[in-house]
Chains A and B, each alone.
Chain A
């Protein structure tokens, strides 16, 4: 079975802090994704990566950056956390030709 592990299930941070969200997968998948999920807005793609060192902007990349130094790890970075970044963050990997496999999510709250 595919395993996608996200660091921290719940996190409360102060606005202005730099925040790292880590995601690790154990299936050697090339494609990895970061989404945020908000009530009424569904899942929105922030960034994705097709391979190590590669990254592409999704639909809502503003305020975020990513890092993919190793194939199994995809990090989402909030340079200066803001209250409108309070959300559920979901990491996923892709197994072609099947769909995305998600981690359990990280619920972040910025005060």
Chain B
């Protein structure tokens, strides 16, 4: 089935550093979503993107919907220890309705050293 390539798989960074991760697909998506999952919890939606080129921020997080509609990136500025977790990208090929379920990347595991 359709897959998303999410990279990197894991990151070990120092507190205060900026972080960047991305997802790419061979197909065109109409929606890109970024989730964060804390240990032992379900994923929580961070940012949703609906238009090519859209750039959206949520606090220290910024995500962009690629112009080609085949990629998206997430940046975290000035990382803090509570940023630790697994970040997932997800995309949908059809907008709205009952069709077009989300396809998930395999996640980027972020570790932050104080």
Q: Is the CB of B96 within 8 A of A97?
A: yes
Docked complex Cα distance between A92 and B45 (Å): 11
Docked complex Cα distance between A74 and B97 (Å): 19
Most buried by A among B33, B44, B90, B102: B102
Number of interface residues of B (CB under 8 A): 24
Docked complex Cα distance between A59 and B107 (Å): 18
User: Could you mark each residue 55-84 of chain A with 1 if its beta carbon is under 8 Å from any beta carbon of chain B, else 0?
Assistant: 000110000000000000000000000000
Q: Which residues of A sit under 8 angstroms from B114, Cβ to Cβ? A: none
Docked complex Cα distance between A59 and B103 (Å): 11
Report B99 CB to chain A, min CB distance, Å: 9
Q: Which residues of A sit under 8 angstroms from B42, Cβ to Cβ? A: 4, 90, 92, 102-105
Q: Which residues of A sit under 8 angstroms from B50, Cβ to Cβ? A: 97
Q: Is the CB of B43 within 8 A of A42?
A: no
Q: Which residues of B sit under 8 angstroms from A59, Cβ to Cβ? A: 1
Instruction: Say if the beta carbon of A96 comes within 8 Å of chain B.
Output: yes
Q: Which residues of A sit under 8 angstroms from B90, Cβ to Cβ? A: 99-100
Number of interface residues of A (CB under 8 A): 26
Which of B35, B98, B101 sits near A45, CB closer than 8 Å? B101
Report B31 CB to chain A, min CB distance, Å: 7
Q: Is the CB of A102 within 8 A of B44?
A: yes
Q: Is the CB of A96 within 8 A of B96?
A: yes
Q: Is the CB of A104 within 8 A of B102?
A: no
Given contacts A41-B106, A99-B102, A101-B45, 14 further A-B contacts (CB under 8 A): A42-B88, A42-B104, A42-B105, A42-B106, A59-B1, A96-B96, A96-B97, A97-B31, A97-B50, A99-B31, A99-B48, A99-B90, A100-B102, A102-B43
Interface residues of chain A, those whose CB is within 8 Å of chain B, are: 4, 9, 31, 33, 40-43, 45, 48, 50, 58-59, 90, 92, 96-105, 107
A-B contact pairs, 14 of them (CB 8 A): A4-B42, A9-B40, A40-B106, A42-B88, A42-B105, A43-B43, A96-B97, A99-B35, A100-B45, A100-B102, A101-B45, A102-B42, A105-B41, A107-B40
